[in-house]
Amino acid sequence: MTTATVAGPATPLIKPHVSLGEGLSQTLTLAWRTIVQVRHNPWELGDYSIQPIMFVLLFTYVFGGAIAGSTGDYLTFALPGIIVMNMLFVTMYVGTGLNTDLTKGVFDRLRSLPIARWAPLAGRIIADQVKQAWSILLLLVVGMILGFRIGTNLAGLLAAVALLLTFALAFSWVSVLVGVLAKDPEKVQLFGFTALFPVTFVSNVFVRTDTMPGWLQAWVKLNPVTHLADAARGLMIGGPAANSVVWSLVWAAAIVVVFAPLSLYALKRRV
Amino acid sequence: MTHAIWAEGLVKRFGETTALAGVDLAVRTGTVLGLLGPNGAGKTTAARVLATLLQPDAGHATVGGYDVVRQAHQVRQLIGMTGQYASVDETLTGAENLLLIGRLLGMPRAQAKARGRELLAQFDLTDAAGRAAKTYSGGMRRRLDLAASLVGRPPMLYLDEPTTGLDPRARAELWELIRVMVAGGVTVLLTTQYLDEADELADEIVVIDHGRVIATGTPDELKAKAGAQTLAVRPADASHVAVVVDVVSELARGEPEVKGQLVTVPVADPAVLPGVVRRLDDAGVVLAELALRSSSLNEVFLSLTGRPAEDTETNGEPEGSVA
């Protein structure tokens, strides 16, 4: 064992702060790390690949005929909504990953390094955008194999994807808060199921709002999932979209205003 | 005399609990300071404050001349941290973990990879480089932890209970690695609950309990003060306990403790043993047990504080959750 290489402390060049460029590069490095984690844990990839495909198949072929009279019509109606629903579930991985880092001590290691304070969180969220893009693409491809067709044009499709990614970015703050407050990563997943399932199902993702009782319609019409699903349908298959796009963005902004400060406060208290 | 790490009057409270109640510390450049204390004494809290992970409620500290609160970013460029609270990512491989840290420290990819390979070789992890860290044994995990804290060649290293939970062989290996680093000029802050570990590695020891420093000195000074070893005498006949107490309190230093028929007393000098045997023999005491053994941390605490070290898990180091 040669001592010089292990030990010999360098006399470091001490910098007074992290530059924005360094911070961005650290964010990308940490996002890379999250993607490498998926490579080592293919089950996670299965979670946001196989599960949404199951939903598409289940709703199209089991319920589609009964709900819309034809599986083809139903797929056109439901696929944009299923993409929205899946997007919300995928944001939970931000919280699960953050919680794992907090409970295992990885977060402290990162905080003891001379890196930008925001890089660990930003890295997670950027990585989540990659996962989001992957599952949107996957669902579109599967949908098209089953007969889904874009009724607008490429610009409409890209606008829909951009809207979904923007909303995912905003909704990540909810996931961050859950990730910080939860005792362990399983609790984050549990929240995903118990809170997100009702929110996503009690919307117009699977059935039209006018088929529901009046008291439920009031909530469904308010639900951001409904607005997002409407916006995605409008942008992908045609029809009015502007109104629901605006409401989706308003919801996204409101979520950031409420949850970003709460999350950062909770994180500061926990570490 | 230059101090690499220096702290004065550190106070840290977590709600009702006071983890640090005014701790002073000074670590000379190139030496090892052992921060010794039972679970919940405040050791880890002190290390976390000095690593910029926690802000003290009062007092201040500098590392390499930089203030840990106001110049935290500068401090982070000087330190490497390893231990129970600063871990590697167990889903990544050993090589990926080191690459990640190298990249975060601003090394170009090739340089970060080369540095990782170099460290893996030094720490005997080359064969495991491509395996996820969660498959590593306890000793391998600690070595990877240590390697991860050395990627940027920090002049100061914080080792937070580096050998807790390791078997004796892995423990000895890790000690050897730490000695090599110290020989290379690294300043080390070592927190430990083992007296023998502090004795093996530290140039100076600070004993901490309930967030307070209760003793400071070199290992030898501390052992002289507290009794490095414990003499245990058990007379065969219960009526002889009083005689035994008389003899040992005269020859050994400190107050003997009596538990049933067993009399124990801390001794600074093992040479008292023949004297004790002779005197007891003269007094006609037949012995059932006579032993001289290394003092446990508990016994050192007993002689320093007059009470045993309490193993208060809840005090000082909260498990972090607010849920």
Q: What is the pLDDT of residues A231-242, one digit of tens each?
A: 999 999 888 888
Question: Chain B residues with CB inside 8 Å of A30's CB?
Answer: 100, 104
Q: How far is B314 from chain A (nearest CA, A)?
A: 16
- Confidence label for A207 from pLDDT (cuts 50, 70 and 90): confident
- Give the largest Cα separation in chain A, rounded: 77
Confidence (pLDDT) at B267: 79
Distance of CA A16 to the CA centre of its chain: 35
- If we measure between CA atoms, which residue out of B199, B98, B111 comes closest to residue B146? B98
Angstrom distances, CA of residue B163 to CA of B123, B153, B195? 15, 21, 12
What are residue B231's DSSP bridge partners?
B265, B292
Confidence (pLDDT) at A4: 41
CA atoms of B52 and B73, how far apart (whole Å): 8
Backbone angles phi, psi at B60, to 5 degrees: -145, 165
Condensed to tens digits (0 to 9), the pLDDT of residues B117-159 reads 999 999 999 999 999 999 999 889 989 999 999 999 999 999 9
- If we measure between CA atoms, which residue out of A79, A87, A85 comes closest to residue A59? A79
* Assigned token pair, B19: 């983890």
Of A7, A12, A110, the CB nearest to B181: A7
CA angle B191, B47, B19 (to 5 degrees): 95
| CB contact at 8 A, B262 and B241 | no
Question: Residues 46..75 of B with a Cβ closer than 8 Å to A: which?
Answer: 48, 51-53, 66, 73-74
Q: Please say if the pLDDT value at position A7 is more than 50.
A: no
Higher pLDDT pick, B13 / A70:
B13
CB spacing of B86 vs A40 below 8 angstroms: no
Question: Chain B residues with CB inside 8 Å of A22's CB?
Answer: 106
pLDDT < 70 regions, chain B: 1, 85-86, 226-228, 253, 295-299, 301, 305-323
Confidence (pLDDT) at A212: 85
Q: Strand B257-259's sheet: what is its strand order? A: B257-259, B262-267, B229-235, B287-294
Q: Quote the DSSP letter at residue A148.
A: -
Tell me the DSSP string of A17-39. Answer: S--HHHHHHHHHHHHHHHHHHHH
A18-42: average pLDDT: 92
- Confidence label for A84 from pLDDT (cuts 50, 70 and 90): very high
| CB contact at 8 A, B181 and B188 | yes
Does B20 contact A at CB distance below 8 Å?
no
CA atoms of B257 and B249, how far apart (whole Å): 10
CB spacing of B53 vs A17 below 8 angstroms: no
Give ipTM to 2 decimals.
0.85
Question: Chain A residues with CB inside 8 Å of B186's CB?
Answer: 7, 9
